[in-house]
Structure 1
Amino acid sequence: MAACGRVQLLLLLLTAQCCFVLLVAGLRPPASVNLHPPLIAINRPLKAGAAPNGGNAGAASSVSQPRRSGGWKLAEEEACREDLSRHCPKHTWNNNLAVLECLQDTKETQAGEGRVYKCLFNHKFEEAMSEKCRDALTTRQKLIAQDYKVSYSLAKSCKADLRKYRCNLDTNLPRAREARLSYLLLCLESAVHRGRMVSGECQGEMLDYRRMLMEDFSLSPEIVLHCRGEIEAHCSGLHRKGRTLHCLMRVGRGDKGPIDNLCQNALQALIQSADPGADYRIDRALNEACESVIQTACKHIRNGDPITDASSTLSCSETPADLTINCVPHRLDPVLYRKCQNDASRLCHTHGWNETSELMPPGAVFSCLYRHAYRTEEQGRRLTRDCKVEVQRILHQRALDVKLDPELQKRCMTDLGKWCSEKTETGQELECLQDHLEDLVSDCRDVVGNLTELESEDIQIEALLIRACEPVIQSHCHDVADNQIDTGDLMECLVQNKHQKEMNDKCAVGVTHFQLIQMKDFRFSYKFKMACKEDVLKLCPNIKKKVDVVICLSTTVRNDTLQDVKEQRVSLKCRRQLRVEELEMSEDIRLEPELHDSCKKDINRFCSAVSFGNAQVIECLKENKQHLTHTCHQKVFKLQETEMMDPELDYQLMRVCKQMIKRFCAESDAKNMLHCLKQNKNSELMDPKCKQMITKRQITQSTDYRLNPVLRKACKADIPKFCQNILNKASDDNELEGEVISCLKLKYADQRLSTDCEDQIRVILQESALDYRLDPQLQLHCKDEITHLCAEEAAAQEQTGQVEECLKNNLLKLKQEACKKEVLNMLKESKADIFVDPVLHTACALDLKHHCAAITPGRGRQMSCLMEALQDKRVRLQPECKKRLQDRIDMWSYAAKVAPAEGFSDLAVQVMTSPSKNYILFMIVLAICTLFLVGLLCGRITKRVTRELKDR
């Protein structure tokens, strides 16, 4: 057959002029003169890797091919006669689906108008197709690619549309280019994208031949010429069903090495001609790889629609990515072009996107659209809604793979190799670049920063994150997710619901990672940036990190509040968003980099088994505060001071007591939340877990007056007046272990405090009398005694004052002087007010009501009333009250002996609280009167002195 072909080629060359005349005249050559074997011979060198000049020669000679109204009868050719009878038999069509497809359901349909060609083209790569027939079909396809008129059906179906849209009247182009199939397809596709009407028959023919171009790379001479090296090096053996083209696409995106620019341009030209993005059926490799996904996830999409979401299997998701990457000039995206052509003309001054794109830099139009996509109404000149949706779609695809973003890939290639060489899975490379933002070169850092800033406004760009968070979005964030324009609300909702039961690990990790990235630059938090941009420029210039900006603004707000400034320097909208940011940061210690860095060693030592979420690590550090390193201890103390001033920032407290806050403190101010919870701590309706958390915070407050804002304000004047010696040795970032509060307690017993301070100390005394852990000095000095003498009471933790009562009862057994002194101080404090002695108060509650109801509480008045009742023989107290009261008197007597009065005030208190105070007072008055009478009766003791001696 080959030898015959060569002979016939020689004959053809000798009789070319004669054949041309025959063709023009429309004559039928004899069947024995086969014109096609020479064309087959032209194709064989291409298969061997020879230069494609022969293909071009064959294309040139295609003009001499016969065309008849009935179509070329391929059945008459020996090479394909057997394959034709196998795949498209004329008489067995009822039992052959291929015949039904090719011959259009009628037995009477005869071969003609290219129907047999189409049938064989569709089965070209089937295993049953012989190589000879496949070569003949390939040659025929090459002729069509060089001159569309070789295809009778295409030329006939599109004749009117070609004339209508002047697709063959371009005087600026060579005549040969007008005949190219690619030029025809580009011209008609441009008309379709502009919304012009192209006949259904013509579009059907275009679809067939676009599929043909995508299926066999050898039909494109430019691909064969310029991509020969890439094909031999990376894509050998992949010659069927478009696999070679997809292999070249993967080479083009950098997966298998560099690609020549000429090859890249040829590849993009082919994709532009075939336009596979407009209809997934054009790309057989895509169609086969994604068939299962098309039937399930994309079943709502009509045939002919583009597939823009590859939420599918790995093999399927790789294939659309190949197309997306190689469609860098986004005019190749038909949906984007159709929806955005008016916007591109209006905003980017591109009149006829396709026509002008060659005069513009690659990606310039899309960059322009991107800049206008996220403009606010105030900025004006915004994209239409449909165009913005398509721009967002492209951005969503880019976020899946850095190779989908040419600018990012170009500027960050070095950093990707340096920092992210091991990050190969989808989406990991961009996350890696964000993690190393400070280490990137400036050009790459700018691109990554801009993309991250964009993600903060539209988190749906993070397609993998959105996919992982779908259950949470559907349950808690569907309202904001349904909005076409996202302004950071969706991410804010995900953060707020990060610990819901619908939240899975992947979503939680993704949300936390994005929060950590936001800490690197306040611009990465869209809502915060928009709300506080002017405030940052005015109050915190030259500060970039978000955590530093938050600290700067919150410090300004706090100072203005403490100084009662009439007009806050931070705007109202910024203060509101600042509160949101502060609450988010309190949830994870990693969101406060300074604290996290200072406590890394302590976290590894004490909290290695604790997860970061829900502020658990922060709580762990608080519980181990006494054992922390000095630097970490200081930071934790500062954090606690801030949380006590603003309990809403105490994440654990707000989380554990969420329902109790709604029940008891719904109308309370946020800054008074802890105070409200403490007031309702002993309510029967109080949740035990919340009560335990309140007790923890009370223990913390008892360690230092600075951690109790209410006490600090009430005793502002009393603390420096009575406890200055303690303040002198205090440091700013370390606890005073309750020394100032103990000092104030003693002054309360002496009744020397101001009214407001006295009220606060009374509350503290009442609370510490019920729970010894709220008295750090007692706990510090009596640790061993509590362990040995009161272990059972301490283990019960009933918060009924049993440990204190145990220590009082064992006063004589106490060996350490420091502990004995603390117990004596407790006794002294209880003499000042019965309310600070819960055991005695409970025992004598009925007697107080009967005998001392008219006595105003405070300053020891009710205690004196009970003691007078005890002395009065006519009054009968309750047995328990009488016993407890007598025990207290004995303890006070012992305390007076062991700890004598240190000053006149202590002496006065002892006299006034003594059971024999009337006798003592009588004796004091009698002594004064006696002294007066002696002086009156006995005269002067000293000698009189004259006036002159006094005056000199």
Structure 2
Amino acid sequence: MYLNLVGEIILSDFRLVYGFIDSCKNDIEKFNCGRVSVGPVNVNRVSVLSQGATINCLSLRIEKLDSKCAHQIFRISELQSDDFHLDRPLFYACREDRERLCGGVVSGDGRVFDCLMNHKFDEGMSFECRQHLTERQRLRSRNYRADHSLTNACAQEIAENKCDTGAETSDSASSTALSSIMLCLEAAKDANNRGNSEKRAISGPCFVKMREIRKQLMEDYSLTPEIIVNCQEPIDRFCKNYKTRRQGKVLHCLLGVQRSIPINLESPFPEKCQHAIHNLLKIGEVVDDIRVDPVIRAACAPILAGQCNAAIVESDRVYGCLMEARRSPNMPEECKYHLFELEFIVSRDITLDKNLFQACARDAEKLCHFSTGSWRKHSMGDQLLANCLWSHRHPTAKPRALSPSCLVELSRLMLIRASSIDLSPEVFQVCLADLGRFCLPNSEKHVARLEVDRRNDGDAEKAAEEQGMPCLEDHLGELQAPCREAVINYAKDIEEEPDLDQRIATACVAAEDRFCSGIRQSVRNQLASVEVPPADREAFLAEAQTSLRDAMFQCLVEHKNHPRMEPQCRSAVEHFQIISLNDVRISPGFYLDCQQAIKLYCQPPTDPAKVIEPMPQSKMEVVACLSRKLLEFSLLSSTRESSTAENSTAIPPRCLRHLRFELLSRAESIRLDPELDVACHLEWKRYCGHVESGQGEAIECLRQHRRQLSPKCHTIVFNRDRLATLDRNTDYKLLSLCEPMAHLHCPHLLDDRKGYRQLVFGTDLLDCLHAASTSSAHVDTFDPQCRQVVVKRLRMQWMDFRLDAKLNKHCRMDMKVFCSEEVESDSASAFDQGNKVLTCLMKQYIASSLKGRSPLTRPCASHIRTLLIAANLNHHMDPVLVELCHGDLHTYCSEELALSGLDGDDADGLVGECLRRQVALKRIHNASCVNEVLNLNLASHTDIDVDPVLVQDCAEAIKVACDKVAPGNGRRMKCLLAAMDNPSLSELIDAKCRRSLTLRQDLWAISAKISGAPDWRQLAAELNASTSRNFIFAVTCAVVGLIFIFGLLCGRVTRRVPVNMKEK
């Protein structure tokens, strides 16, 4: 009690403090903090009412004092820290506050100081008391011993961990600074948590005191000397409105300004200020315990009271919990905004995130050569350290991959970074000019809003997010080279981790859980379950990683048009697909697996005189180039006997898998096919404005209007058709509509290792599906939408011989022998123009009745016969006929069209029979339509089996009268005609069969008239076809014989003339 009383007396007058006058005389006079000698008072001096106030006056200028005087002030503050009565100015300023706020606290051991500091920003705290408390805390920042409770609670920890190297000399240098002590104690705590027995554990009281100090530092920026000295100008400029309120608002104001895009592209803060802010966050350990930040506590109160409650989540995981909830509908926008202000600093120095850094410390040191010892210092870590670690995430990375715990934490950070562009320093720093140019047209307003009240921070941040990375992606072709490269490097990872894209991360959470939740786990299970020899393990890991690299994004693409897919997610996925078309490197799986093929077939020619490397190619160009090569190789393979994948293509199998996926995506939406979009834009708007751009609808509509397309558009559509014909893996409409039917009827054509979208090479799904759709066993259960698209694809084969792979395969030699001119003519056209080759081959097939045998090879004749049967059954299978007879069909055969159904599979030849009747009745005056009907009718003269309607109508007659006649070369047709003319057999021909035969005879007669004067072959054919051919032959022979006999008998009846007259 006596010592306390004496202490109050001594510390009330600086002249009573031993050695104080000698050390501080010059500073007292310099700063006018009191009178040292007795004499007249200088009028220029500030009048000091109490000599005890001199100590307080010097304390306010502690940064400017001489080192000896500063040491005296620190020693006095140490003595005062035990009992607040010893600090007379503070005691007088806070007497009433103490009674009101801390009346039950017994003075001593710094307890009253602690109580008052904990209530520093209470509304009941007086301004004078708050000011003196702040001054006291500032002294503590310079010398931790000015806080008696800290020194007392952590004395043993400070000594045993050697945190105060100047303790023996009572040095007030950096070793006694509060920041150094706090970092040292935190390092000891973390080392002890990791099991390092050399470091002493932090006791409970010491830990509590440390947390109180961190909280105070975050509440009042002025307690950090570095911020006061280095950040005063930015504070006065941007955060003046918050200086009186503090409670962490000034600090967050500075953080908000720091992550804004400056007008002049330069940071509004000096470098020392940036370091001071970083150091404060490091000392405050905000990430380790986010609740020390008063702004976060207030803004995020609903989340902290709910899903991130301290009772549920460990204190060092609360920050991570809040960041994971950033997209939750319950997350307040203000909370999200302030979290991103902190993350702006954390994303540039991962050492601030203790969980992340402890998980990755070893990897950072070994893989990225980062000194883990520097973590204890104030120095900022490398901003690109996270990117360095991220580049080693793959199992095949060199020299080794990341540890699993580091990969988990790092993946979490990268997903957070994707939320806002300013959280990705590697993009933000180099793209400031382009961000200001394209994404922040009102950038002056953006900065100006930071100078006023920021109560609407959430809305501003939301707008900033919308203007960040998505904006740069949308202007990718216009960006400056460094920024473009940074955006491309960032976008490379999106196919592997789709949530790195803002739009996908926001819109596709439910879709990823619904459709793709098991993809990553299935690949990892495969890696764990399969036993691979050590020699092959690296290759196996590379293959597995390739499968994982783009599996998630491909999953979203494949389910993009699923009925349960959210429209926002569908748009987000397609948007990134469009972005990826700008540069092939954005799709690393495709680029790496196809790199060899790209260099071999698609590398643009380089000028030897120029050293500059060619610009990177767009994925659109590469896909177009490789698809042309795929078409060439497929055509070459069709001329060979082998149909194996190895002989079919020079494109590597892994590249082929990616290429087929890209081609399938291109076929799905016209927006993903810029070449088609540009060439057919007018036609699409004119004829297909009513259909959507996706789900393969656009190109299907253009196919239906192919005769109205411009040559340029028609050419591209035709090229897409050629590719889809040769490789069904690129036919989106067929694969999407016929997936269930393919699994049900054609499972042998599907590659189980690759899923439905990859068919076994060398097989044609179309033939299998058509056979199933026309089978009597499945006709009622077959999906009508699939049947319709199958019919459309079969029709497509009639339009040009280049669209019929089987025709090219089976009739290759026949085309060279009989139709070389037609082949040359059709090949010279860039698109389909009537299929002259098929018409030529059909004429050769029909000519078989004239020669008694078919001039075509057996495989070719068989294929032509199949086409004719299909055309006679279903008019849709002959698109030339449908096009030429379009008007007449609707005029004369509307009833038959209605009965035939949309795809014509229910027609059973009704429409064809209707056209035959109308031509026979001479109602159709369109010469082109008449000729097409007559040509189709002539085929039945050659082979009755190509006329299914006639076969059905005359089935009984054929069975009875012509059962023993071999089919082919018109033999059965001759048999039926002979039976109809034979009185003894005519009764076997019923009325229905007779009508069909008579109709065809009439059409043959019309064909003969239209064809004009026949040559001897045509005449012989007509005579042979006639039912009275025997009578005609007999009459002809009789006439010739009579002429011969007449000449023989009557040749001398004429007047005889001398020989010389004949010669004359």
Structure 2 distance, partners of 1:173, 1:111, is: 26
Structure 2 distance, partners of 1:868, 1:687, is: 44
Answer yes or no: is the 8 Å Cα contact 2:556–2:573 preserved in 1.
Answer: yes
> What's the offset of the Cα at 1:645?
1.4
> What's the offset of the Cα at 1:211?
0.9
Using a 3 Å threshold, how does the CA distance of structure 1 residues 607 and 777 change in structure 2: closer, same or farther?
Answer: closer
Classify the secondary structure of the residue corresponding to 1:307.
helix
> What's the offset of the Cα at 1:795?
4.5
Classify the secondary structure of the residue corresponding to 1:237.
helix
Structure 2 distance, partners of 1:112, 1:849, is: 123
Q: Is residue 254 from structure 1 mapped to residue 260 from structure 2 by the alignment?
A: yes
Q: Which residue of 1 aligns with 2:808?
A: 712
Structure 1 distance, partners of 2:166, 2:598, is: 58
Q: Which residue of 1 aligns with 2:304?
A: 294
Answer yes or no: is the 8 Å Cα contact 2:13–2:52 preserved in 1.
Answer: no
Q: Which residue of 2 aligns with 1:947?
A: none
Structure 2 distance, partners of 1:398, 1:84, is: 46
Aligned match for 2:998, one of 880, 886, 907: 886
Using a 3 Å threshold, how does the CA distance of structure 1 residues 784 and 86 change in structure 2: closer, same or farther?
Answer: same
Instruction: State how 1:773-784 maps to structure 2 within 5 Å.
Output: 773-784=876-887
Q: Which residue of 2 aligns with 1:747?
A: 844
Structure 1 distance, partners of 2:959, 2:240, is: 102
Structure 1 distance, partners of 2:72, 2:1048, is: 151
Aligned match for 1:349, one of 360, 369, 394: 369
Q: Is residue 408 from structure 1 mapped to residue 427 from structure 2 by the alignment?
A: yes
Q: Given residue 803 of structure 1, which amino acid in structure 2 is its aligned partner?
A: V
Q: Is residue 494 from structure 1 mapped to residue 491 from structure 2 by the alignment?
A: no
Structure 2 distance, partners of 1:468, 1:39, is: 62
Structure 1 distance, partners of 2:576, 2:673, is: 14
Answer yes or no: is the 8 Å Cα contact 2:519–2:551 preserved in 1.
Answer: yes
Answer yes or no: is the 8 Å Cα contact 1:235–1:247 preserved in 2.
Answer: yes
Structure 1 distance, partners of 2:499, 2:880, is: 55
Structure 2 distance, partners of 1:922, 1:190, is: 122
Classify the secondary structure of the residue corresponding to 1:225.
helix
Mean Cα displacement is larger for which, 129-138 or 235-244?
129-138
Q: Which residue of 2 aligns with 1:446?
A: 485
> What's the offset of the Cα at 1:914?
2.1
Answer yes or no: is the 8 Å Cα contact 2:11–2:17 preserved in 1.
Answer: no
TM-score, normalization: structure 1? 0.86
Q: Given residue 912 of structure 1, which amino acid in structure 2 is its aligned partner?
A: N
Aligned match for 1:663, one of 744, 749, 754: 744
Structure 1 distance, partners of 2:1010, 2:864, is: 25
Classify the secondary structure of the residue corresponding to 1:400.
coil
> What's the offset of the Cα at 1:52?
7.6
Classify the secondary structure of the residue corresponding to 1:168.
coil
Mean Cα displacement is larger for which, 622-631 or 562-571?
562-571
Using a 3 Å threshold, how does the CA distance of structure 1 residues 85 and 928 change in structure 2: closer, same or farther?
Answer: farther
Structure 2 distance, partners of 1:520, 1:173, is: 65
Mean Cα displacement is larger for which, 154-163 or 326-335?
326-335
Structure 2 distance, partners of 1:904, 1:581, is: 58
Structure 1 distance, partners of 2:505, 2:939, is: 61
Aligned match for 1:321, one of 337, 340, 352: 340
Aligned match for 1:157, one of 150, 153, 165: 153
Note the alpha carbon deviations across 1:583-641, whole angstroms, 9 max, x for none. Answer: 23322223333222222333333334433321222222222222222211111111111
Q: Given residue 550 of structure 2, which amino acid in structure 1 is its aligned partner?
A: G
Answer yes or no: is the 8 Å Cα contact 1:59–1:142 preserved in 2.
Answer: no
Instruction: State how 1:42-57 maps to structure 2 within 5 Å.
Output: none
User: Please, which runs of 5 or more residues in structure 1 have no aligned partner?
Assistant: 1-7, 22-32, 91-102, 104-109, 940-952
Answer yes or no: is the 8 Å Cα contact 1:336–1:391 preserved in 2.
Answer: yes
> What's the offset of the Cα at 1:803?
3.0
Q: Which residue of 2 aligns with 1:96?
A: none
Aligned match for 1:785, one of 868, 877, 888: 888
Answer yes or no: is the 8 Å Cα contact 1:36–1:136 preserved in 2.
Answer: no
Answer yes or no: is the 8 Å Cα contact 1:750–1:906 preserved in 2.
Answer: no
Note the alpha carbon deviations across 1:475-500, whole angstroms, 9 max, x for none. Answer: 22111255788522211211111122
> What's the offset of the Cα at 1:427?
5.8
> What's the offset of the Cα at 1:891?
3.8
Mean Cα displacement is larger for which, 400-409 or 313-322?
400-409
Using a 3 Å threshold, how does the CA distance of structure 1 residues 34 and 840 change in structure 2: closer, same or farther?
Answer: farther
> What's the offset of the Cα at 1:247?
0.3
Answer yes or no: is the 8 Å Cα contact 2:938–2:1004 preserved in 1.
Answer: yes
Structure 1 distance, partners of 2:797, 2:120, is: 83
User: Please, which runs of 5 or more residues in structure 2 have no aligned partner?
Assistant: 1-8, 23-48, 442-461, 525-544, 605-615, 750-759, 849-854, 902-906, 1052-1064
Instruction: State how 1:508-547 maps to structure 2 within 5 Å.
Output: 508-541=570-603, 544-547=617-620
Structure 2 distance, partners of 1:607, 1:778, is: 24
Q: Which residue of 2 aligns with 1:587?
A: 668
Mean Cα displacement is larger for which, 553-562 or 246-255?
553-562
Q: Which residue of 1 aligns with 2:187?
A: 190
> What's the offset of the Cα at 1:651?
0.5
Note the alpha carbon deviations across 1:520-575, whole angstroms, 9 max, x for none. Answer: 23322232234333443445445733233334444444544524586653333333
Instruction: State how 1:602-613 maps to structure 2 within 5 Å.
Output: 602-613=683-694
Classify the secondary structure of the residue corresponding to 1:915.
coil
Q: Which residue of 1 aligns with 2:795?
A: 699
Classify the secondary structure of the residue corresponding to 2:553.
helix
Q: Which residue of 1 aligns with 2:937?
A: 827
Structure 1 distance, partners of 2:413, 2:352, is: 12
Q: Is residue 245 from structure 1 mapped to residue 241 from structure 2 by the alignment?
A: no
Instruction: State how 1:414-429 maps to structure 2 within 5 Å.
Output: 414-421=433-440, 424-426=463-465, 428-429=467-468
Q: Which residue of 2 aligns with 1:813?
A: 923
> What's the offset of the Cα at 1:127?
1.9
Answer yes or no: is the 8 Å Cα contact 1:9–1:38 preserved in 2.
Answer: no
Q: Which residue of 1 aligns with 2:513?
A: 474
Q: Which residue of 2 aligns with 1:338?
A: 358
Instruction: State how 1:638-677 maps to structure 2 within 5 Å.
Output: 638-668=719-749, 669=760, 671-677=763-769
Structure 2 distance, partners of 1:199, 1:841, is: 101
Structure 2 distance, partners of 1:70, 1:264, is: 35
Q: Given residue 155 of structure 1, which amino acid in structure 2 is its aligned partner?
A: T
Structure 2 distance, partners of 1:35, 1:281, is: 42
Structure 2 distance, partners of 1:173, 1:539, is: 76
Q: Is residue 769 from structure 1 mapped to residue 872 from structure 2 by the alignment?
A: yes
Classify the secondary structure of the residue corresponding to 1:638.
helix
| Identity in percent | 30
Structure 1 distance, partners of 2:667, 2:71, is: 72
Instruction: State how 1:390-401 maps to structure 2 within 5 Å.
Output: 390-401=409-420
Structure 1 distance, partners of 2:435, 2:1042, is: 102
Mean Cα displacement is larger for which, 483-492 or 825-834?
483-492
> What's the offset of the Cα at 1:213?
0.4
Structure 1 distance, partners of 2:504, 2:881, is: 53
Aligned match for 1:233, one of 227, 230, 237: 237
Mean Cα displacement is larger for which, 774-783 or 729-738?
774-783
Q: Which residue of 1 aligns with 2:402?
A: 383
Mean Cα displacement is larger for which, 564-573 or 194-203?
564-573
Superposed CA RMSD in Å reads: 3.7
Answer yes or no: is the 8 Å Cα contact 1:473–1:481 preserved in 2.
Answer: no
Structure 2 distance, partners of 1:521, 1:36, is: 74
Q: Given residue 179 of structure 1, which amino acid in structure 2 is its aligned partner?
A: T
Q: Which residue of 2 aligns with 1:548?
A: 621
Q: Which residue of 2 aligns with 1:218?
A: 222
Mean Cα displacement is larger for which, 212-221 or 913-922?
913-922
> What's the offset of the Cα at 1:187?
1.6
Structure 1 distance, partners of 2:81, 2:56, is: 24
Q: Is residue 17 from structure 1 mapped to residue 18 from structure 2 by the alignment?
A: yes
Aligned match for 2:474, one of 430, 435, 439: 435
Classify the secondary structure of the residue corresponding to 1:611.
coil
Structure 2 distance, partners of 1:914, 1:873, is: 16
> What's the offset of the Cα at 1:786?
3.0
